[in-house]
């Protein structure tokens, strides 16, 4: 009786191993609850989502707030808002000013633009005119970021 039980158990495990090794698709599933590089960049809707992501990141230099942040750290900020005059009073640290975040966020924006431009060609079903327009928009956003960085920090790559 013990030999029969051992034979059944061994047969069961061998058949399980054989079944799993033959059915690799059971184990190799795409993430079902999130996007991944394997299942993205396949439809025009994916390109729209990616473009929205590029615009979402492109907020560092939009609006006039960045001008005020840099201006208050100059001699224009002396006597007006001494709490934010980090450059003029010599107390600038990475944690004390948004200037450091402008540098970091600018390169995040550029990386997002580059990722979009590298992958948009994967979607073959996208209208050529729409694709050209999206590429032009992303190139402009990248150039705008580089322009602002060069205005504040000189030559940047």
pTM of full prediction above 0.75: no
Q: Two tokens at 9?
A: 């158990």
What tens digit of pLDDT does each residue of 12-57 get?
Answer: 767 666 666 555 565 566 666 676 777 788 889 999 999 999 998 8
Query: Per-residue confidence at 75, pLDDT binned at 50, 70, 90?
Result: low
Question: Do 48 and 126 touch, CB atoms closer than 8 A?
Answer: no
pLDDT over 90 (residue 148): no
- H helix and E strand count, the chain: 7, 0
């Amino acid at each position: 009786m013990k030999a029969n039980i051992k034979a059944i158990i061994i047969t069961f495990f061998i058949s399980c191993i054989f079944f799993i090794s033959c059915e690799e698709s059971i184990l190799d599933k795409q993430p079902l609850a999130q996007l991944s590089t394997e299942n993205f960049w396949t439809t025009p809707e994916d390109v729209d989502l990616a473009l929205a992501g590029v615009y979402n990141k492109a907020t560092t230099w939009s609006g006039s707030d960045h001008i005020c942040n840099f201006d208050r750290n100059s001699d224009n900020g002396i006597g007006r808002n001494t709490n934010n005059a980090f450059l003029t009073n010599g107390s600038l640290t990475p944690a004390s000013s948004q200037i450091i975040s402008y540098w970091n966020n600018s390169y995040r924006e550029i990386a997002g633009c580059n990722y979009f431009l590298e992958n948009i060609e994967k979607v073959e079903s996208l209208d050529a005119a729409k694709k050209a327009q999206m590429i032009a928009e992303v190139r402009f956003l990248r150039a705008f970021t580089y322009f602002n960085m060069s205005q504040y920090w000189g030559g940047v790559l």
